[in-house]
Amino acid sequence: MADSHGVTAVIFDWGGTLTRWHDVDFHAESFALARAVVDSHHDDDEISARLMAAGDVVWGRSRDHQQSATIADLFDEAGLDHDPELLSAYYEFWEPHTTTDPEVGPMWEALRSRGLKVGVLSNTVWPRAWHRGFFERDGVLDLVDGDVYTSEVPWTKPSPEAFRAAAEAVDVDDLARCVYVGDRLFDDIWGATNAGMKAVHVPHSTIPAGQVGHTEGTPHAVVQRLSEIPGVIDRWL
């Protein structure tokens, strides 16, 4: 069914798409991240400010140059040493924002019942194990056929290479046979359509000004709820 009509896989953004959008206190985030700093002679306010500034630089590189980064890169940019074993406060800060939308499981099952692959492509500095752990906690990891986290590849969205890596992860070699679902008109919608995919917009996120890119893409479809996606795909099938 899927092969004969051209759609083979549906690939999803994570934050703001598979999770519902939350406003985040980035000042508080920086203090949580600062708990992992070691051997520092700076006070907490200075460390926090340096980490916030480092975050702006790292995400600016993602926006403007599609250059990926890791948590370690945040500390390197801030000129601070850290112990990865001390990231628990940072992880605990973010965990309340990581809950998978309850509609994801039934929606993914519906897509897979149509013979479609399910993938994930997320711009993130977090390690793969964190993301997969959230999916496992919420009972949907077994429904993911392939997943790419930009912390482990050289590119971020909207680079076509990031979308190509996600397609390869679900064993698809033609991006025109993939649909991408995301909440950001630059990273997700413009990025996916520029790479040759169909794109579905989930328009409920408030994108920080510093993360808005140079172009707003035009989606092929807009959904208000994830449960609508199988119906959208059915129309294309």
| Cis ω before 158 (30° cut-off from 0) | yes
Domain spans in the chain, listed from the N-terminal domain onward:
2-20+99-236, 26-96
Class of domain 2-20+99-236: alpha beta
What pLDDT does 205 receive? 84
pLDDT in tens, 93-145: 999 999 999 999 999 999 999 999 999 999 999 999 999 999 999 999 999 99
Give the residue from 182, 155, 152 showing the smallest Cα distance to 19. 182
Output the CA–CA distances (angstroms, integers) from residue 76 to 47, 187, 196, in the order listed: 12, 25, 35
Q: Compute the distance between CA of residue 222 and CA of residue 135 in angstroms, rounded to an integer.
A: 24
Query: What ranges in 67-138 are assigned the alpha helix state H?
Result: 71-78, 88-94, 104-113, 128-137
Q: Compute the distance between CA of residue 188 and CA of residue 184 in angstroms, rounded to an integer.
A: 5
What pLDDT does 211 receive? 77
Whether pLDDT at 175 is above 50: yes
What pLDDT does 5 receive? 52
Three-state DSSP state, 230: helix
Summarize the confidence of residues 198-219 as an average pLDDT: 88
pLDDT in tens, 8-53: 999 999 999 999 888 888 899 999 999 999 987 778 899 999 999 9
Phi then psi for residue 98, to 5 deg, are: -105, 5
Single pTM value for the model: 0.93
pLDDT in tens, 60-79: 999 999 999 999 999 999 99
The answer to whether residues 217 and 194 touch, using CB atoms and an 8 Å cutoff, is yes
